[in-house]
């Protein structure tokens, strides 16, 4: 028996996939959705019954654009790896100020 799920699929908590339905590669099924028909490659589906809400490539593009605006972006680009002790303390300081200071942080 082959798996109805292809590579790099995300299935949200509580989602129900009916028998015989195939979830295509790079697809996302949101939490609580009920999928009654095949999901195409790269589709993001949600609802009961699940319907296409967007495309993964659109979501990635929006996140990349948003991430470019964060004031610590230059530090991220300086990193040598996922954790770089040279910049981590300043990165934490900037994030705390941005997300938790009640001052005039721009968001």
Task: For the chain, list the domains and their CATH numbers.
Answer: 10-60 (2.160.10.10), 70-100 (no CATH)
Residue 51: its pLDDT value, please? 97
For residue range 11-70, list pLDDT tens digits in order: 999 999 999 999 999 999 999 999 999 999 999 999 999 999 999 999 889 988 998 899
What is the 3-state secondary structure of the chain?
CCCCECCCCEECCCCEECCCCCECCCCEECCCCEECCCECCCEEEECCCCEEEEEHHHHHHHHHHHHHCCCCHHHHHHCCCCCCHHHHHHHHHHHHHHHHCCCCCCC
The mean pLDDT value for 77-87 works out to 86
């Amino acid at each position: 028996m082959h798996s109805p799920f292809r590579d790099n699929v995300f299935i949200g908590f509580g989602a129900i996939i009916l028998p015989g339905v195939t979830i295509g590669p790079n697809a996302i099924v949101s939490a609580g959705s009920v999928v009654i028909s095949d999901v195409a490659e790269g589709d993001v589906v949600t609802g009961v019954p699940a319907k296409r809400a967007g495309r993964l490539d659109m979501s990635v593009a929006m996140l990349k654009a948003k991430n470019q605006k964060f004031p610590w972006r230059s530090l991220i680009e300086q990193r040598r790896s996922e954790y770089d002790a040279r910049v981590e303390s300043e990165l934490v300081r900037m994030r705390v100020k941005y997300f938790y200071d009640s001052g005039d942080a721009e968001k």
